Chain A
Amino acid sequence: MEKYDVVIVGGGSSGLAALKQLSNRGKQAILLESGGKVGSKSVSGGILYSKKPKKANVHNVEDVYENFLTDAPVERKITKYILHSTSKDKVFSMDLTSAHEYEANFGYSVLMNKLNKWFADQANESAQKYGGGIIPGVHVRDIKWDGDKTIIYTDELEEIQASAVIASDGVNSEIANITGARKKFSPSELYQGVKVVVKLPEDIINERFGVSSQDGAAHLFAGDVTLNHIGGGFVYTNKNTLSVGGVYHLDSLLENPVEPYEMINALLKNPMISEFVKDQVPVKKEIDKNLSKEEQIRIRFATTKLIKSWQETRDAVLSSSGRDRLIKSGKYASEDEIRTQLSSLQTQMADKYGVTLETDYVEVEYSAKLIPDGKRGRMKNPFIKNVLFTGDAAGRGIFIGPKIEGLNVGIDDAVRAANTIADALEKNNLSHDNLGKSYSNSLEESHYTKDMKEIDKDYLKIFLDTAKDIPRDILSSKYGMVIKLMSNDTLRNFSVGFANILGYEKLLPLVESEETYVKVPMELADRLGEKITSSYTMSIPSIATRIGKLNFSDDEMSHIKVIKPASDFMKKMVTLCPTRCYSIENDKVMIQHEGCIECGTCYEETDWKHTRGEKGITYQYG
């Protein structure tokens, strides 16, 4: 049996950071990832933060990857952060940039597939120096202890022995489940996130969001866009795409089930978001049915080809790097020449094939993921024996009003887990007791753990300051009063101190309610908001079209087995599965696993496994 110092399970941003950090410390580690390529199953909102907290320390992404700031394929640096309260066509906006920049070095918008590939290249190169590296296409199905041996079983490889294991296998951690390290998360500890990536040329993004090519904006939404669920929506600017998504409390969804498909549509239909995503989209003319079949096929192919080349030219001309690339390649002498070519292609499309340009929007990817709420669900002891859990697998996500963080937490955890193991290897003390205790202690020192446990009064002050201009009398009396009281420094410090002693978790039902997430924002929008109208009717793709755009490698075996086919929870999955994998027949819920995007919404009452190596979904954006 082959033996490695450390085996890392899961090639998301956390697992990869663990691998890189172990290599930075000169230790041997291998990382097993079930996807055919690292990053293929990762989904994020997403913004990646780097923090500089005053009172506690954190390990940032740029500390792990020394060339992150110069080379990493991030999208845009978020310099504007705005919260919108919505009610029908009315929107009331508050600038939260100061809250976003609180204790932060930066926040970059990212697309996980691309970024994880870069992380993987860096980590792999370092790991190879110490006889380790990344092994994609391998699904870990079990871990067993035999005396002082830790044995890892996979679907694809012979057994592997390890001195220590880092489990970074995400929110639906199989390792946590198999080893009994924690119970499955309950719906009250989870959010369901749904996202679409929308294509939009770089120049249009810059102009529409008032940012330069490097900078970006983050827009958050509360109010009726969530269809009265606890949660919120977001629009983040990437280089030449937008991430449009929503994050909803799973409890709230179970209470009042609405399809994720409809949830994301409700966001898109909000007039402000509709205007954000709109673009010029070519529309084909119906092909004359009287023509011969061959001629119809010829026209169909020719039209598609012409549209494709128009699109490529347009994408290039509307982006700084695209223009440079075309001119450098010698294909065109100047920007004007490219524009001339673009309009000539447009004329050809119209004259030859009757293609018209209409205002609409272009979706390129639909995705979903579960997100753990660290305030409620984080593992108090994120280890079992010599297995250390990091990031989502340990339930460590931060949700505090508009403060949503996960990637940075997972990276910080990973560094702590890696350092714990590296120290233990150096001291030759790999006892389970030592590993678990050292890791737990290290996590307790993390700023992020504090964020999940306590209210930060300074952050609260910044947040309240942004709301100070709102006339108190217009807020629902209860919240108006609270805001008024909290705006007083002495009173706020006292009550935050008191709340932290009392236990922050106890206040959550009051802070996170339909009232705060839906009613108050709607009231604000109704009474102070500006009316926004959308200038077009968007054609929202059907669920089949959305799923059709995704890449799957189907496994003949289902990775999910329904345990309680007649339970209320499972019946709700018929509605809450983002890709409609569940149907109901004779009062029993059945699964059709093809098309499953492995979000784990149904995890609680199913025997849920990650797919076998190289099977299942492969995201292009993530």
Chain B
Amino acid sequence: MLTPLNIAVIVKLEPDFSEGNVSYNPDGTLNRAETKNILGPHSALAASAAFYSKVRYGAHVSIGTMGPPNADLILQSAQQISDADETYLFSDRIFAGADTLGTAELLKAGIQKMQGKMDLVFSGHRASDGETGQVGPQTAWKLGFTFLGNVIDYEVDVEKRTVRAKRSIRLQGFHDIIEEVEAPLPVFIAIDPSYKSVFNTASQRLACEKYKKEANDRAQNFKQYLKVLNAEQLGADPKLIGLAGSPTIVFKVEKIPKGKAGRQAEVVDGSSKEEMGRVVARLRQALSTMVIK
């Protein structure tokens, strides 16, 4: 009997930047009260990468996030995607003000508190609010795991306890170079934004359907799977987490001046024939000036 894979995913609560949901203050900063929070898009990809292991290898999946008490809702979303067996919310007032290093320290402590010894840890490529992309590598370093970034595809050899991964890298100006690497477990994987799980045999698809259903059922009762841990329960060193553990000093925030728009948007009434006629005329004119070489 092979030892089943043990997987952790770290996810992040982020403002929903999609149109209609995001709101800004007059000074250009984010209006956090008015903007809905969601599971970050990169985090969602990390959760789907964990789901891939669930389907392929029947992995045991735990998901953790650091955030305020209401961040349990994103754990629900992540559980819906990954069919996680357990979810963890690391929540404490003293975690506030953490930079990426302080966050990584806390996540390391969190991952170590999760059930079982981890074989694989997944994170998103970066956060869509901070755009830092450092928490993943730093957590990997703190855990002492091999770090693989920009992973677009992976396979685990459960017997040999190795992972083979494809990484999308840029090299000296060349895009889309795919590097294939193999590493012994445990491994920390940051999922590339272009990652997509592919299930191409009937049995994988059957398992996929089965786990999707299980994920739905679990997510409906997500509180049953949720554990909330504070600083003390995590046993993290208070000097290394939160504001105290964050050497970053924000010196000044400058608003990037709004560039002059090159194009002028115009609202057209789609139900009016004349206005649509005008659009067609403009398109025609634009096309006629194009020179096809």
Give the chain A neighbours of B210 by CB distance below 8 A. Answer: 128, 133
A residues in contact with B201, CB < 8 Å? 2, 157-158
Chain A contributes a number of interface residues (CB within 8 A of B) equal to 19
| Distance in angstroms between the alpha carbons of A134 and B212 in the assembled complex | 13
Query: Known contacts A293-B267, A296-B267, A297-B267: does B206 contact A158 (CB below 8 Å)?
Result: no
**Contacts A2-B201, A160-B202 known; A135 to B267 CB distance under 8 Å?**
no
Query: Chain A binding site: helix, strand, loop or mixed by DSSP?
Result: mixed
Q: Does B21 contact A (CB under 8 A)?
A: no
Interface centre among B201, B202, B205, B206 (most CB of A within 10 A): B202
- Contact status A2-B267, CB under 8 Å: no
* Chain B residue with Cβ nearest A158: B201
> How many angstroms from the CA of A157 to the CA of B198 in the assembled complex?
10
| Distance A124 CA – B203 CA, assembled complex (angstroms) | 14
**Once the chains are docked, how many angstroms separate the CA of A156 from the CA of B202?**
10
Q: Given that A296-B267, A297-B267 are known contacts, is A135 also in contact with B206, CB under 8 Å in the complex?
A: yes
| CB-based nearest B residue for A297 | B267
Q: Which of B178-218 contact A (CB under 8 A)?
A: 200-203, 205-206, 209-210
| Interchain CB contact (< 8 A) of A158 among B200, B209, B267 | B200
Interface contact A124-B267, CB-CB below 8 Å: no
Contact indicator B267/A134 (Cβ below 8 Å):
no
Q: Give the residues in chain B near A131, CB-CB below 8 Å.
A: 206
Contacts of A158 in B (CB 8 A): 200-202
A285 CB to nearest B CB, Å: 13
The answer for the CA separation of A92 and B26 in the assembled complex, in Å, is: 68
* A132 touches B (CB below 8 Å): yes
Q: How far is the CB of A228 from chain B (nearest CB, A)?
A: 33
When chains A and B are docked, how far (Å) is the Cα of A239 from the Cα of B116? Answer: 52
Residues of B within 8 A of A134 (CB): 209
Instruction: Return B278 CB to nearest CB of chain A, in Å.
Output: 14
Alpha-carbon distance A157/B199, docked complex (angstroms): 8
Residues on the A chain within 8 Å of B205, using CB: 135, 138, 157
Shortest Cβ distance from A135 into chain B, in angstroms? 4
Q: Which of A132, A156, A296 contacts B206 (CB 8 A)?
A: A132
What residues on B are CB-neighbors of A353 within 8 Å?
none
Which residues of A have CB within 8 Å of B200?
156-158
A67–B124 CA distance with the chains assembled, in angstroms: 44
Instruction: Give A4's nearest chain B residue, CB to CB.
Output: B202
Q: How far is the CA of A132 from the CA of B201 in the complex (A)?
A: 13
Expressed in whole angstroms, the Cα–Cα distance for A218 and B210 within the complex equals 39
Name which residue of chain A comes closest to B205, CB basis: A135
Question: Assuming the A-B contacts A156-B200, A158-B201, are A30 and B206 also in contact, with contact meaning beta carbons closer than 8 angstroms in the complex?
Answer: yes
Residue from B206, B209, B210, B267 with most neighbouring chain A CB atoms (10 Å) = B206
Q: Interface readout for A137-168 with B: 1 if CB under 8 Å, 0 if not? A: 01000000000000000001110100000000
Chain B neighbourhood of A124, CB < 8 A: 209
Interface string of B117-147 (1 = CB under 8 A from A): 0000000000000000000000000000000
Closest to B209 in A: A133
| Nearest CB of chain B from residue A308's CB, rounded to whole Å | 14
Q: Which residue of A lies closest to B201 (CB)?
A: A158
Q: How far is the CA of A156 from the CA of B200 in the complex (A)?
A: 6
Q: How far is the CB of B171 from chain A (nearest CB, A)?
A: 30
> Are A30 and B202 in touch, CB under 8 angstroms?
yes
State the Cβ distance, A236 to closest chain B Cβ, in Å: 32
Chain B residues with CB under 8 A of A128: 206, 210
B209 and A2 contact, CB distance less than 8 A: no
Other-chain residue from A2, A136, A138, A293 in contact with B203 (beta carbon distance below 8 A): A2
CA–CA, A511 to B280, complex, Å? 53
User: Judging by beta carbons under 8 Å apart, are B206 and A133 in contact?
Assistant: yes
Q: How far is the CB of B207 from chain A (nearest CB, A)?
A: 9
Taking CB atoms, residues of chain B closer than 8 Å to A30 are 202, 206
Q: Which residue of B lies closest to A133 (CB)?
A: B206
Chain B nearest Cβ from A232, distance in angstroms: 35
Q: How far is the CB of A31 from chain B (nearest CB, A)?
A: 10
Closest to B203 in A: A2
A133 vs B203: C-alpha distance in the bound complex, in angstroms? Answer: 10
Q: Cα distance A349–B189 when bound, in Å?
A: 54
Which residues of B in the span 265-293 have a Cβ within 8 Å of any Cβ on A? Answer: 267
Which A residues are CB-close (under 8 A) to B202?
Answer: 2, 4, 30, 135, 157-158, 160
- Cβ of B269 to closest chain A Cβ, rounded Å: 8
A124, A133, A134 pick with most chain B CB within 10 angstroms: A133
Query: Which residue in chain A gives the minimum CB-CB distance to B20?
Result: A301
For A296, the chain B residues whose CB sits under 8 A away are 267
Using Cβ atoms and an 8 Å threshold, which residues of chain A touch B206?
30, 128, 131-133, 135
In whole angstroms, how far apart are the Cα atoms of A2 and B206 in the complex? 12
Task: Report the bound CA distance from A158 to B204 in whole Å.
Answer: 11
Give chain B residues whose Cβ lies under 8 Å from the Cβ of A136.
209
**Chain A 279-297 near chain B by CB (<8 Å), digits 1 or 0:** 0000000000000010011
CB-CB nearest in chain B for A7: B202
Residues of A within 8 A of B267 (CB): 293, 296-297
Smallest distance from the beta carbon of A507 to chain B beta carbons, Å?
48
Closest chain-B Cβ to A33's Cβ sits at a distance in Å of 11
- The residue of chain B having its C-beta at the shortest distance from the C-beta of A127 within the complex is B206
Residue of B at shortest CB range from A121? B213
In the bound assembly, the distance between CA atoms of A101 and B287 in angstroms comes to 64
Cα-based distance from A297 to B205 in the complex (angstroms): 45
Give Cα A549 to B183, complex, Å: 50
Taken together as a complex, chains A and B put the C-alpha atoms of A122 and B209 apart, in Å, by 14
Query: Within the assembled complex, what's the spacing in Å between the Cα atoms of A293 and B268?
Result: 10
Complex Cα distance, B212 from A133, in Å, reads 13
> Looking across the interface, which residue of chain A has its beta carbon closest to that of B266?
A293
Residues from 143 to 194 in B contacting A, C-beta threshold 8 Å: none
With a cutoff of 8 Å between Cβ atoms, the chain A residues found around residue B203 in the complex are 2
A157: chain B residues at CB < 8 Å are: 200-202, 205
Nearest residue in A to B210 (C-beta to C-beta)? A128
A135: chain B residues at CB < 8 Å are 202, 205-206, 209
How far is B210's CA from A133's CA once the two chains are assembled, in angstroms?
9
Q: What's the Cα separation between A133 and B209 when bound, in Å?
A: 8
- A29 CB to nearest chain B CB (Å): 11
A132 to B209 Cα, complex, angstroms:
11
A295 to chain B, nearest CB (A): 11
Complex-state Cα separation, A135 to B200, whole angstroms:
11
Question: What are 29 A-B pairs at a CB distance below 8 A?
Answer: A2-B201, A2-B202, A2-B203, A4-B202, A30-B202, A30-B206, A124-B209, A128-B206, A128-B210, A131-B206, A133-B206, A133-B209, A134-B209, A135-B202, A135-B205, A135-B206, A136-B209, A138-B205, A156-B200, A157-B200, A157-B201, A157-B202, A157-B205, A158-B200, A158-B201, A160-B202, A293-B267, A296-B267, A297-B267
In the complex, besides A2-B202, A157-B202, A158-B200, 8 extra interface pairs with C-beta distance below 8 angstroms are A133-B210, A135-B202, A135-B205, A135-B206, A136-B209, A138-B205, A293-B267, A297-B267
Binding site for A on B (CB under 8 A): 200-203, 205-206, 209-210, 267
User: Top 7 nearest A-B pairs by Cβ distance?
Assistant: A135-B205, A133-B206, A158-B201, A293-B267, A160-B202, A2-B202, A157-B200
